[in-house]
Amino acid sequence: MTAPPLTAIPFFSPGTFADDRDALLDTVREIGTGDAQKFILGEHTARLEQELRDRLGAADVVACSSGTSALALALTALDVGPGDEVVVPAFGCAPLASAVVEVGARPVFADVDPVRLTADPAAVEALVTPWTKALLVGHLFSVMADMPAFRALADRRGLRLVEDSALAQGGTLAGRPAGLWGDAGVYSFVPVKTFGMPGEGGVVLTGDAELGRAVRMLRNHGQDGVHRFVHHRVHRGVGRNSRFDEVMAAFQLRRLPGLEDRLARRTRICDYYSRRFAGLAGVAAPPVGGDGRFPYVYTVLADRRDALAAHLAAHGVTAHVYYPRTLPEQPAFAPFAPPGARWPNAERAARRNLSLPLYPHLTDAQAERIADAVCAFADESGEPR
């Protein structure tokens, strides 16, 4: 046994914004003392939207108060509402189901692909009924969902397609950025995301300018940007407050030029883990191959997941179980699940997933320590490589 390491490697880096502290304080001063005294939906927000639009080749990018809010705005703008069904994956984060419930529609849970862990197109199609209005599929950890299949399915069945790309900023599949396969997609800017910031916020992105206009109205109480205090309906929905903060917009504009480098650093660490974990007994790495991969979180699957997590903790590595149970097993969403229904791949994913630290500030030595600890667990479990 080697001596325990002195400091544990945290799962979330406390150093995410360490290099940007002066930039953050400068930004607060600039907006706080600026002549305009404009703190919400001002010129910085508009410029951030424009920069992202140009980079992505989107018809519109609309900044709003969170990734979760972005999903609900997109659903309302696509006329999803009471009486509608929306097929969502059974495994993933709560907003996949809660955004549907929030707009008054019913989430219908589909099982996931056992390797990608994203929604299985055949399982989704089997759940389409005359009441289905939309599909809401999400990318997970570091793997994009099978968007060509979902785009084709939505087109074939006349359904709207919302892409929960909240964590997939920087990913592309067949040359198309994550978020632009759906009629609408979203990004989240919470601190841990690939384009995170020290606050709450997100965007809706779309290739449909008309849809973008609807989202713009919805995020600001249904106002059209011309007449103040006239509150329009958008389909069956009304506007809400999902506006964006100017300090955060100015900060994101400063950080945008460094995004590619930070993504590249994350990708190098992902590739290193994948090389180290190839062929490991008892621990399955995410599917490798460049297209449709993005470096958000590196998640392995292990039958002895809790033993692996304990082993890593003993070796000074903090790992994280993202989703310990499926969405239909959650108290909030169980009422929407048909009694007795099962989602075998989602249930297995919930039992086996474990995410490893992955962030640009992780040093090569830390990445090596993490990989060593995972490999030692596989060796100690005694199965042949």
Which residues contribute to the site for ligand PLP (CB under 6 A)? 66-68, 93, 95, 138, 164, 166-167, 188, 190, 202
Sheet bearing 353-356, strands edge to edge:
283-284, 298-302, 353-356
Comparing CB distances to ligand PLP, the nearer of 48 and 378 is 48
Largest CA distance in the chain: 71
Cβ pair 72, 102 in contact under 8 A: yes
CB of 177 to ligand PLP, least distance (A): 16
- CA 287 to chain CA centroid, Å, is 18
Comparing CB distances to ligand PLP, the nearer of 98 and 267 is 98
Determine the Cα–Cα distance for residues 249 and 34; give it in Å rounded to an integer. 14
Residue 123 CB coordination number (10 Å): 19
Comparing CB distances to ligand PLP, the nearer of 167 and 371 is 167
CB of 91 to ligand PLP, least distance (A): 11
Comparing CB distances to ligand PLP, the nearer of 282 and 292 is 292
CB of 164 to ligand PLP, least distance (A): 5
CB of 93 to ligand PLP, least distance (A): 5
Give the number of C-alpha atoms closer than 13 A to the C-alpha of residue 28, restricted to the C-beta side.
7
Question: Can you count the helices (H) and strands (E) in the chain?
Answer: 12, 14
CB of 165 to ligand PLP, least distance (A): 8
CB of 256 to ligand PLP, least distance (A): 18
Comparing CB distances to ligand PLP, the nearer of 83 and 324 is 324
Comparing CB distances to ligand PLP, the nearer of 27 and 188 is 188
Determine the Cα–Cα distance for residues 98 and 6; give it in Å rounded to an integer. 41
Comparing CB distances to ligand PLP, the nearer of 91 and 377 is 91
Q: Residues of 352-376 as b/e, b for ≥16 C-beta within 10 angstroms?
A: bbbbbbbbbebeeebbebbbebbee
Nearest CA to 235 out of 105, 98, 366 is that of 105
CB of 136 to ligand PLP, least distance (A): 10
Q: Is 9 helix (H, G, I), strand (E, B) or coil?
A: strand
In the bound complex, which residue of the shown chain has the CB atom lying closest to ligand PLP?
Answer: 67
Cβ pair 87, 128 in contact under 8 A: yes
